[in-house]
Structure 1
Amino acid sequence: MEDQDPDVAGSSSKNMELESELTSKFLNGQMSFAEYSSEWYGGEDEDENDEIEKKVEEPQQSVARRRRRVNRLTPALIGLMGEANLRFARGDNEMAEKMCHEIIKQVPTASEPYQTLAQIYENDPEKSLQFSLLAAHLSPTDVNEWLRLAGISSQRNDPKLEMICYTHAIGADPGNLEIHMKRLDLINKLEHTDTTLVPSLMSRVRAYHKIVTAMPPSQGEIIMKYTRLAATLYHDDDEKSKACKVMSAAYAKCPTLFSLEDLNIFLELLISQKEFNKCLELFVASCGVDIEAEIQTVQYSTNEIEEQTNYTKCSIPNDLAIDLKSKLLVCFIHLGAVSLVQTLLSDFLTNDVEKAGDLYMDIEEAFSAVGHHEMAMKLLEPLVNTPNFDLGAVWLKYAECLLNLGREEEATNAFYKVLDHAPQHPAARRKLFAILEKSGHTEKALDVLQQDKKYVISPSLLYEECLALKKYNRMSRYLEVAEILLCRAITKYRHDEELRIACKQRSAIELIQEFRILKGENPYHKDDLQFEDENFKLTPSQEWEIYKELLTLAHGFKQYVTMQRISYSALLIKGLQAHRKQVEFYIFQACLLNKDFVHSFRFIRELAQKNTTNRTWNLLSFVINSVEDVTHSKFLTRLFQRDQHWVKNLFLGNNYLMSGRYLVALKYFLEYHEQFREPLSAFLISVTILSMAAQKTVDKHHNLILQSLSYMVAYKQLRKYDQEVNYNMGRLYQMLSINNLAIEYYEKALACEPIAQCDKHGTIDLRMETAYNLFTLYKEHSPHLARKIMLKYLVI
């Protein structure tokens, strides 16, 4: 005896280990029989050709689609098996079971011990069924056993196992029509009770397909019945390749039973799969067509030799259906028999276009596909002149054909006809744009790209329009179009609550829609733009660049409402989530520019807690003083609770001053002034005390006024800019109605130099404000002085 190949021996050992492991899992309930079976057979049964293709595609699969290796027992084990059966017959079940397990241990793939174990456990239906399934699995050609197990599965109401049993039974006896019918009955039953289970077991169309491939040619009528059913279902699911396979299988067995309609469908499927030579064979064999051809040998410059078929003559029966004639022409066109086609086409063009227009289109498509546009035009011209075919699709083919022939002016008119029929047609708009742009009609070209928002919009065409608008510097229109493109996948805000959701949550579109549903609103709006479901998609980097570009344009055009809207929309765009912090800052800037201080406060609050710089405090102060609601004391208290910052007293004091709580404000200002001795704090203390003195409920008004004056003097001493100091002193005395002193300080302010000169902000000068206050003081008692002040300082 020859030594066994080590690789083969190793593979056999691994298989035995795997077999034992799988069997153990099945018997222990760790896997169902469907899972166990699929480890060897790949699940559902397939057409044989599909099986072969899949094995070629996946040669490295180690488990799935494995075929069980059935081992025969050695003579010694046959004797042991006989002894086990004898022990079982005598009632010694325990010993019989031990013997069976010993045999299984040595040869796990032998069916005999499992058969005996199934009989031993006949009082335990579950265990008996497990052993019976294993036994049948290891002797798969026993069709009666599979049918018996299918019956048991039906009684147990286990359709999945029943389907597996019928599938194995068909594998054992493929030509048994009765088993196929039982499996179809089970599929029918499941379709009426549990449609979700059917796809996981076996679809109806694959059952039909299996009948076609399994039945012998003698069952021609049965084959044709299920061929037609399968082809119809495959065609409805756009699986033309499988429809072609089932028709090919049927034709190979019973070609004489193919009706004219069957042949027509079969030819159409073959053409869709580009099987043109097979089509010609079909025409010759079943349609009475006679074709003459000669073989030519062509030698290329690379010394490569190829044989080419040159079709020279074709004889067509007079009674051949016109749709079959058109398919014959299509095949010849794709096979390069142009001269033969020209001869046959003259006869075809005598047919009435009204009745045969669809066939004209098929032949035209074939001509266009191989680049014979002059020939295609012979079919298109009668079509566009026929009322029944005055359609957008026909005009589009006509326009494209004219364009390929270089007749651009005629093509332009034809593309406009397409848009008359289909206003939103993207392909027509693209090609018309290219023609108009090439001819120098830029404005017309750009108008062509503009889509009507009442209809469904193509995102890819919208993007091309953006590129064209940028190219020709139409930035105002670009701002509008690019915003639609950028925000196409999001929703418009309806309430402030939706803004809060977007600010708090990332990718909040779904949450906003749920919020609307909870409020009893429609999540979508009738005026929302509708976009085509196409594969076009901007990358996150593209979205980010467009977003920044739109903000720059909106700012440049001073369209701050648009700038704010785009900024808030960016919170919902998934591609911009990586830049969320920057987006939030842009929203804050847009709100400031749009003077929407209520919404800007939402962002400056968070910024102030994380970024404690002078710029942040200035922005926070600006926003707080600009918002009509000035009660921000709780927020400010929380803000400075952890970190005692030097600006705390100024913020809190100013907030309480604005809200009329003067004593609290005075407390904070005094604390600050005691620590820093700045002119600002002295000035604020003076203003606060003066505001208190103006209240009717306060006693000792004169004492308060004197205190206010003393702090204003301290402010005057600390502040170095004479114009500002004199102006504020004048304002103080004017408020106290001490007009002579007010006039004195205003005149001093007018005589002073401007406060500062700045390259960025210009001159900081209070002369106009000072002059106006002097004008109001003089106009009642000294109108000539008031006029003199006005003419000198207030005339622009």
Structure 2
Amino acid sequence: MDNLRPGPSNVKMDLEKELTNKFLSGEMSFAEYSSEWYEHEDEEDVDLRKNDHEPRQSVQLAEKGLTRRRKYTRLSTALLGLMGEANLRFVRGDKDTAEKMCHEIIKQVPTAPEPYQTLAQIYENDPEKSMQFSLLAAHLSPSDANEWLRLAALSKQRNDVKQEMICYTQAIKAEPHNLDTHMKRLELLTTLEELRYPLHTLSITRVKCYHKIAASLPPTEGETIMKYAKMAATLYHESGELEHALDVIATAYKKCPALFSMEDTNIFLELLISQKQYQTCIDVFVVNAGVEIEAEIQTVQNSDNLVEEQTNYVNCTLPDNLPIDLKTKLLICFIYLGAINLVEPLLQDFLTYDVEKAGDLYMDIEEALSSVGQHKLALQLLEPLVKNASFDLGAVWLKHAECLFNLGREREAIDSYYKVLKHAPQHADARRKMYRILEAKGSIDEALDILQQDYKFVVSASLLFEQCCALKKYNKMLKYLEVGEALLSKNFVRYRHMEELKIARKTKGGVDLIHEFRTMRGENPYNEDDLHFDEDETFKLSPKEEWSFFQELLGVACERKQYCAMQRLTFGSLMSKSLAPNRLDIEFYCLQACLLNNDHQNAFSFIRDFSMKYPSNKCWNILDLVINSIDENTHVKFLSRLFQREPNIVKNLFLGNNYLISGRYIVALKYFIEYHDQCREPLSAFLIGITLIIMAAQRTMDKHHNLILQGMSYLITYQHMRKFDQEAYYNIGRAYHMLSINNLAIEYYERALKSPPVTKCEKHGVMDLTRETAFNLYLLYKDHSPLIAKQYLFKYIVI
């Protein structure tokens, strides 16, 4: 069975047949057909790499089993005879037989060019088919630049831009030394640019054309090579492709080094340094710049116990006319190559140059010295820079400060860091380093102050977070809360009015949703005092870290009784996308913050939702607390809907209290009596008694005495159900006091004083009404018996 499986050659043959048939039937263009052959690679890029690095590229392609140029497929002896017969029949005018023979050959060997060449001649009266066969023949045959140029001209007549570009590219591959073909391709590219053709659909760009010219022409065309190498390098440099820029300049240098001027050499060295090819730079200095360098090769044993050769640079002699730019680059190369013995004398010579003119070069050398740890030498360059008015800049002072710090001169480093902040007040890195120095010296307050950013300017989120960590470390919790709130404001919202809060509570969108809402209202989407964070900074708290940080800030705000800050935090967190999974907890925190901040109106909007979603005694108790704290009494409809979904006798208490507060006493009495009939609790008896007594005090009511008797009867029932405790005596005394039955009021107040406290609680302590009772007795006696009144004050009301 294994013998029946299709082998790689059979699969390849099937693919070739399929591609050929698709092209011949018009299902794919020649550009698509060609790209399939080349396995979707960018042909021009590959060719450039091949020309620039021939040995290495050929090895890589061999390892991958790829061949850039299709091999010419030779026909067998039998098929060659058949091909000859087909050509003979065509010459004699028997086109049909010749065509059949060609198709038979294609059927057996679809990658042989000869049948396509003949078919192109057979269909010379059909330009479309003739063109197809000619393209196939040119693609499959050994390279023929003239044929590709002919096909390019035909493609131009047909206005097939993409195919014309492919033909020119193939012609250049066939004959890379022909400058005229390169110029034709560039001319076509220029025309396309003027027509604003979408060049991204082509596999060629202007810079690739320039690079190809420099890579293809022989050394005899030195001036042309230099011209296009410079043009390519300029375009590469502008797009940040320094490696390609170096490739094209290196190609030109290899072919015509004698044509390199000092300016060209300077550019070449700059590119080499950017790619850290310092040894190559030394070679260029010796060959092109007239620098004489003595070096010795030593054999050393490395850390892996392997023997390797090491170059030690002994001496260096510079020509008198060597430009300062090249001296700078030579210094940089020696620095990175570790030749400090040569750097020191060259540096002393360099320091004689005017700082005003050569300041930028000073900075380049300093950067190299600092990167290899030669801070003492780097400081020699920085000292004249910071003394010059033209270089009194934050960036220069920062390097000066870091250099001093690395040398252990911390006090001087702090002074330099302060100069950095003078020029760049929001420089986060300078503040961080100053903090570490000051903290190590024990100046904690000064260290914490240095972390504070000015919120009027762009702020660093990462520095805000580090400031929070430092404030927490040294227990500056109020400041920690303030800075933490500023950090979270990046993802949190500050609401301007109730409509925005309603949107936040109903949706789970981000901050952008509120900004869009403000824009729709014609408002500025941002507040004037919003913090502006550094957009280039990548610092971001993970959702888990943000949630933990948010909870910690809430704990601090609650502990320090900063309830306004607590409410701002909780409300703002509603629109944070990273905290969206914790939405239920956040809404409960919002409720707590509203209650603690006495914002009962907003608290009601949260507790009503909780009551609908999670009906329980706890929710109802909080709901009752909030309702009784709101001035407006318009919650009857909501309470009715709430208990229609979850029928409960507690409904009578809620509605009864609501109607009692609103002055609808008869309706309130009805709900209280219904509750009392089912529950028989002291509370319901007390509420009924109080309601009846309040009704008796109304002028619009008849039979006041009967109402009073009924009310007191329920209060006595309440007293029995409370088992004659302090609370019952006190409340009945209050009732008699309200009715001006003072003798009975005094009697019950006295009983309350003699009773033990109501209860004891581990959390809230003793619940005792002694002081309240004594104060009421004082009120009763103060007008008629002041001495007795004072006795109650001095005995019971003492703090």
Give the TM-score taking structure 2 as reference length: 0.87
Q: Could you tell me which residue of structure 2 aligns to residue 108 of structure 1? A: 110
SS at 2:672 equivalent: helix
Distance 2:696 2:93 in 1: 118
CA drift at 1:275: 0.9
Structure 1's 413 and 782: CA in aligned 2 closer, same or farther, altered over 3 A? Answer: same
Structure 1's 717 and 248: CA in aligned 2 closer, same or farther, altered over 3 A? Answer: same
| 1:48 and 2:79 are equivalent in the alignment | no
CA drift at 1:791: 4.3
Q: Could you tell me which residue of structure 2 aligns to residue 633 of structure 1? A: 636
Q: Mean alpha-carbon deviation: is it higher for 20-29 or for 527-536?
A: 20-29
Question: For the Cα contact (< 8 Å) 2:48–2:215, is it kept in 1?
Answer: no
CA drift at 1:34: 4.8
Question: For the Cα contact (< 8 Å) 2:494–2:568, is it kept in 1?
Answer: no
Q: Mean alpha-carbon deviation: is it higher for 757-766 or for 722-731?
A: 722-731
State which of 5, 13, 17 in structure 2 corresponds to 1:16.
13
Question: For the Cα contact (< 8 Å) 1:631–1:659, is it kept in 2?
Answer: no
State which of 716, 723, 727 in structure 2 corresponds to 1:724.
727
Q: Mean alpha-carbon deviation: is it higher for 582-591 or for 483-492?
A: 483-492
Distance 1:377 1:207 in 2: 46
Q: Mean alpha-carbon deviation: is it higher for 642-651 or for 657-666?
A: 657-666
SS at 2:404 equivalent: helix
CA drift at 1:617: 2.3
State which of 542, 545, 552 in structure 2 corresponds to 1:542.
545
Distance 2:379 2:287 in 1: 32
CA drift at 1:267: 0.7
Question: Counterpart amino acid of 2:630?
Answer: V
Distance 1:360 1:18 in 2: 63
CA drift at 1:46: 0.5
Distance 1:494 1:372 in 2: 56
Structure 1's 157 and 613: CA in aligned 2 closer, same or farther, altered over 3 A? Answer: farther
| 1:208 and 2:210 are equivalent in the alignment | yes
CA drift at 1:248: 0.8
Alignment of 1:286-305 (within 5 A): 286-299=288-301, 304-305=306-307
CA drift at 1:188: 4.5
Question: For the Cα contact (< 8 Å) 2:510–2:576, is it kept in 1?
Answer: no
Distance 1:697 1:151 in 2: 111
State which of 421, 446, 449 in structure 2 corresponds to 1:447.
449
Distance 1:381 1:192 in 2: 53
State which of 304, 316, 340 in structure 2 corresponds to 1:338.
340
Structure 1's 258 and 771: CA in aligned 2 closer, same or farther, altered over 3 A? Answer: same
Deviations, residues 140-165 of structure 1 (Å, cap 9, x unaligned)? 83545555665666677665555444
Distance 2:717 2:81 in 1: 122
SS at 1:46 equivalent: helix
Q: Could you tell me which residue of structure 2 aligns to residue 511 of structure 1? A: 513
Q: Could you tell me which residue of structure 2 aligns to residue 238 of structure 1? A: 240
Query: Across the two proteins, how many residue pairs are aligned to each other?
Result: 791
Question: Counterpart amino acid of 1:16?
Answer: M
Q: Mean alpha-carbon deviation: is it higher for 39-48 or for 562-571?
A: 39-48
Q: Could you tell me which residue of structure 2 aligns to residue 322 of structure 1? A: 324
Q: Mean alpha-carbon deviation: is it higher for 463-472 or for 324-333?
A: 463-472
Alignment of 1:380-459 (within 5 A): 380-459=382-461
Question: For the Cα contact (< 8 Å) 1:160–1:201, is it kept in 2?
Answer: no
CA drift at 1:339: 2.0
Alignment of 1:49-448 (within 5 A): 50=49, 68=70, 71-78=73-80, 102-111=104-113, 134-139=136-141, 141-143=143-145, 146-147=148-149, 160=162, 162-188=164-190, 191=193, 194=196, 198=200, 201-299=203-301, 304-448=306-450
Q: Could you tell me which residue of structure 1 aligns to residue 501 of structure 2? A: 499
Distance 1:693 1:91 in 2: 130
Deviations, residues 717-761 of structure 1 (Å, cap 9, x unaligned)? 333353222332233344444444444433433333221122211
SS at 2:532 equivalent: coil
CA drift at 1:166: 4.2
Question: Counterpart amino acid of 1:374?
Answer: K
CA drift at 1:663: 4.8
Structure 1's 57 and 83: CA in aligned 2 closer, same or farther, altered over 3 A? Answer: closer
Question: Counterpart amino acid of 1:216?
Answer: P
Structure 1's 40 and 341: CA in aligned 2 closer, same or farther, altered over 3 A? Answer: same
Distance 1:661 1:122 in 2: 107
CA drift at 1:678: 1.6
Q: Mean alpha-carbon deviation: is it higher for 66-75 or for 519-528?
A: 66-75
CA drift at 1:692: 5.2
Structure 1's 110 and 691: CA in aligned 2 closer, same or farther, altered over 3 A? Answer: farther
Q: Mean alpha-carbon deviation: is it higher for 308-317 or for 262-271?
A: 308-317
Question: Counterpart amino acid of 1:256?
Answer: A
Q: Mean alpha-carbon deviation: is it higher for 293-302 or for 473-482?
A: 293-302
Q: Mean alpha-carbon deviation: is it higher for 767-776 or for 233-242?
A: 767-776
SS at 2:645 equivalent: coil
Question: For the Cα contact (< 8 Å) 1:621–1:651, is it kept in 2?
Answer: yes
| 1:600 and 2:597 are equivalent in the alignment | no
Question: Counterpart amino acid of 1:458?
Answer: S
Q: Could you tell me which residue of structure 2 aligns to residue 679 of structure 1? A: 682
Question: Counterpart amino acid of 1:542?
Answer: E
Question: For the Cα contact (< 8 Å) 1:47–1:213, is it kept in 2?
Answer: no
Distance 1:180 1:758 in 2: 97
Structure 1's 353 and 569: CA in aligned 2 closer, same or farther, altered over 3 A? Answer: same
Q: Could you tell me which residue of structure 2 aligns to residue 38 of structure 1? A: 35
Question: For the Cα contact (< 8 Å) 1:289–1:317, is it kept in 2?
Answer: yes
Q: Could you tell me which residue of structure 1 aligns to residue 627 of structure 2? A: 624
Question: For the Cα contact (< 8 Å) 1:40–1:67, is it kept in 2?
Answer: no
Question: For the Cα contact (< 8 Å) 2:222–2:259, is it kept in 1?
Answer: yes
Question: For the Cα contact (< 8 Å) 1:136–1:145, is it kept in 2?
Answer: yes
Q: CA RMSD in A?
A: 3.8
Question: Counterpart amino acid of 2:680?
Answer: R
Question: For the Cα contact (< 8 Å) 1:184–1:207, is it kept in 2?
Answer: yes
Question: For the Cα contact (< 8 Å) 1:187–1:198, is it kept in 2?
Answer: no
Distance 2:221 2:495 in 1: 67
Distance 1:102 1:489 in 2: 72
CA drift at 1:680: 1.8
CA drift at 1:240: 1.8
Question: For the Cα contact (< 8 Å) 2:72–2:142, is it kept in 1?
Answer: no
| 1:765 and 2:768 are equivalent in the alignment | yes
Question: For the Cα contact (< 8 Å) 2:468–2:484, is it kept in 1?
Answer: yes
CA drift at 1:47: 5.0
Structure 1's 606 and 329: CA in aligned 2 closer, same or farther, altered over 3 A? Answer: same
Question: Counterpart amino acid of 1:544?
Answer: W
Distance 1:574 1:388 in 2: 48
Question: For the Cα contact (< 8 Å) 2:688–2:711, is it kept in 1?
Answer: yes
Q: Mean alpha-carbon deviation: is it higher for 42-51 or for 188-197?
A: 188-197
Structure 1's 623 and 8: CA in aligned 2 closer, same or farther, altered over 3 A? Answer: same
SS at 2:425 equivalent: coil
Unpaired runs of at least 5, structure 1: none
Identity %: 61
CA drift at 1:558: 1.0
Structure 1's 651 and 179: CA in aligned 2 closer, same or farther, altered over 3 A? Answer: farther
Distance 1:173 1:747 in 2: 122
Alignment of 1:647-662 (within 5 A): 647-662=650-665
CA drift at 1:321: 0.9
Question: For the Cα contact (< 8 Å) 2:229–2:248, is it kept in 1?
Answer: yes
Question: Counterpart amino acid of 2:477?
Answer: M
Question: For the Cα contact (< 8 Å) 1:754–1:764, is it kept in 2?
Answer: yes
CA drift at 1:279: 1.0
Q: Could you tell me which residue of structure 2 aligns to residue 570 of structure 1? A: 573
Question: Counterpart amino acid of 1:606?
Answer: D
Unpaired runs of at least 5, structure 2: none
Deviations, residues 304-359 of structure 1 (Å, cap 9, x unaligned)? 32222222232222111111111112212222222223333333222222211222
